[in-house]
Amino acid sequence: MGNSKKSLTLLYIITPTYDRPTQIPDLVRLSNTLRNVKNLHWIVVEDGIKTLPHVKTLLEKSNISYTYLSATAHGKHRNLKGLAQRNIAIDWIRKNHPREKNAAVYFADDDNAYTLELFEEIRKTRKVSVFPVAFSGNLVFETPIVDNGKVTGYIGWARTTRMFPLDMAGFALNVNVLFNYPNIPTQIPDLVRLSNTLRNVRNLHWIVVEDGLNLSNYVKSLLQDSKILYTYLSASSPSSYVKRRLKGIAQRNKALSWIRKNHHKGLDAVLYFADDDNSYTLELFSEIRKTKKISVFPVGFTGGDMTFQAPMIENGKVVGFYAWAHDIRVFAVDMAGFALNVRVLFDYPKMMFSYTTPAGMNEEYFLKQCCTILVWHIRTQSPKLAKNISNIDWNVSSLIKRLKINTKIYKRNRINENILMR
């Protein structure tokens, strides 16, 4: 039985282009080649502030699945042709590619010629693949040197000074590379900071779950160097839910499944969700250990209108929450604002996070699965929202006096690099 279109690995072909006399002839020639390739999505990126009608017409008539974008390089990058175009195409893939689907990415300039055999080789790419490229100028070709199935060197210009002396058309990537090595420089620093905290906590097992199909070698190396008992897993977030800001659901559910399969039921343990971009005091982990079923903690923030979220306690019992949307959320807590004894996972074996939950309500849905409200405290208390963040006294002692609670956790806002306090 032959390969169907659905069984073939999807190919993303990225083509930067610009307005010139040969643009349409070059794109026509390339489109005629790509029309012979199955299961392909062509990303054409115009060099300019807008797309061109005649290029759009050509793409529509090609009968090829396509996306037509535009990008303009500015400042010192203006002379680096194709840089802005390729980057915007990569960003588009990261935002729109279904993470559960395999694909390969290839950069095909519109003034090159390609054999159809090349695209079938590209489909086989598991991480990065390299190919020989021929030229009609003085340099006849560039090619990798292969020994026993491994690349040991290259024949190409400046091969003594370039680690990867390749032409842009001389390599392809598996799409997972774009997700495992995203343009987010804070992942490793965030994990280093968290690992330095967790190294001070005894009897701890760290479950780190990567958002993607594959594990990151950088993260794996960091975990090994941390000397912390760990499990490193991966789980892909469906792209349609990422757009709705429902991040972390697949990863947390993967961790919950792992615990249910691997935890010794006779061993007492407590579960806590610690995002890598938060800061935590060591006192918090001592408090977490006391969890009999579910415990809740105050969480402080430096960004936005609300300075903190906290449970309201009367006679040692939680009677409400001081938090955003506290009037419609039964459990108005942050993800890092609660812990649960691992027995809860076995008492409620179907307890998981859900993609049907509205953004910002993940904690609410999760905790409702194991808790029943028997008493409603009628008194409501409106949160005091900070209109001017600069007027807030962030002295820890004065903050504790205002909250009349123990500050446990510090949470950083990823966008503005501020620090949130719990």
pLDDT per residue, tens digit, the chain (422 aa), is 344 445 799 999 999 999 999 999 999 999 999 999 999 999 999 998 899 999 999 999 999 999 999 988 654 445 567 888 998 999 899 889 988 899 999 999 999 999 999 999 999 999 889 888 887 766 577 777 778 777 777 776 655 666 677 788 889 999 988 887 765 667 888 888 899 999 999 999 999 999 887 888 888 888 999 999 999 999 987 765 554 456 789 999 999 999 999 999 889 999 999 998 888 889 999 999 999 998 888 887 765 555 777 777 777 777 667 666 666 666 767 888 889 999 999 999 999 988 887 766 778 778 778 765 444 433 344 444 444 444 444 444 444 444 444 434 444 433 322 222 22
Q: Domain 187-421 carries which CATH code?
A: 3.90.550.10
Partners of 154 in the β-ladder: 144
Helix segments in 132-216, DSSP class H: 175-180, 187-198
Per DSSP, 3 falls in state P
| Type of residue at 414 | R
CB 217 within 8 A of CB 193: no
Of 46, 142, 210, 363, the active-site residue reads: 363
Do the two domains 10-180 and 187-421 of this chain adopt the same fold? yes
Taking domain 10-180, whether its CATH number is 3.40.50.620 is answered by no
Question: Does 363 qualify as catalytic in the annotation?
Answer: yes
DSSP bridge partners of 271: 340
Between CA 190 and CA 316 the distance in angstroms is 35
Instruction: Return the domain boundaries, the chain.
Output: 10-180, 187-421
Backbone angles phi, psi at 57, to 5 degrees: -65, -40
